[in-house]
Amino acid sequence: MHKHHSALGLATALRPVQPVTLLRPHAAARAARFFVEKFPGRPLYAVKANPSPDLLPILWENGVTHYDVASIAEVRLVRSILPESTLCFMHPVKAFEAIEEAYFEHGVRTFSLDSIEELDKIVAATKGAEDLTLCVRMRVSSDHSKLSLASKFGVELTEAKELLQRTRQAADALGICFHVGSQAMSPQAYVQAMDKVRAAIVQAAVTVDVIDVGGGFPSIYPDMEPPAMEAYFHAIHKAFESLPVSYSSELWCEPGRALCAEYASLLVRVERRRGDELYINDGAYGALFDAAHVGWRFPVKLLREPESDVRDIGFSFYGPTCDDMDRMAGPFNLPADVQPGDYIEIGMLGAYGCAMRTGFNGFTAGERVEMDDEPMATMYVIDDEPATAVPSNVITL
């Protein structure tokens, strides 16, 4: 893999024809250390956010030892790269064969569930194993989050009592988990969810060994600047301390976006301009799925030397395929004099962008280049790093 000092330098020197994924290992390492050092419990990396074989060892080397896997393919991947890691199979609906292989071949001992049927399946697939950590997933509100995860999975509070009691009988350790939705913009999301967890524990009168607050930890995007990450950690810790659980109970979380969003960005070339529409060489079937299908606005920057001094206007993007759906509405604010041949960096694409690429129409990922410069925004400053580690033009919270 090539290395380069900056996105602007790369665009100017190489003038790449294909899109280039810009990787910043130091940003992922910084995010991992932040969670390991400051979260008041154990972080599990949600592999689905970015399963890159290059990223996983970076997280491991910076203290992330537990991984939230959602499929048998993710189990195999992480086990092959990080053989000493602890894997937690946190998809609430799994194939019998996937559970069986995970338990007997890959040493997985933690599974999530949200129904009696799934509990029975786990018990049968593991042949009545007595060393299981079973996490009952509760349905909680996604009102404070930009993307809801409140409809597909999770047992309702009114139905949780029997499931928790049955699971307690089958489990060596009983956990309760939930997911407040992606990009939670307020710590209150976790406080409200913990209130529901408290009610469930009281109703079921069970001993709980693990509280897993799931993912949803935010990154920075245009018009989405969340509170400092420490505010989330403080609110979670305070709510956890008030739960009716034993002193030995563990607190877990499952950051995905928060650990990998800053890891990667995308360098694209403008192929055509039509008014306020720019045709670029990556799109909805590449790294920009979320920009097209859920209207996500990623930060953008025109890479030109000398810099443009023209005012910004809002642009929409078309990707390279023949499909009209390959459109990113934006608006993406760029200097009004953008023209064909210009290069644009699209930031914060380490989460989901890298994971959701397809080869539709023959347009595939281009080269990957390791960068020395900072991501377009960061949530993290580590206490023992000098202030100069984050340049003044980088947004920090």
Q: Which residues are catalytic?
A: 322
Provide the angle, in degrees to the nearest 10, between the axes of the packed helices 188-204 and 160-170.
70
Give the E-state strand segments of 185-234 in sequence order: 210-212
Distance CA 46, CA 351 (A): 10
Q: Which residue has the tokens 């409140």?
A: 150
Distance CA 101, CA 71 (A): 11
Task: List the one residue out of 258, 254, 242, 286 whose CA is nearest residue 350.
Answer: 258
Distance CA 102, CA 105 (A): 6
At a CB cut-off of 8 Å and minimum separation 6, what does 67 contact?
Answer: 44, 45, 47, 56, 78, 82, 85, 86, 87, 88
Distance CA 168, CA 160 (A): 12
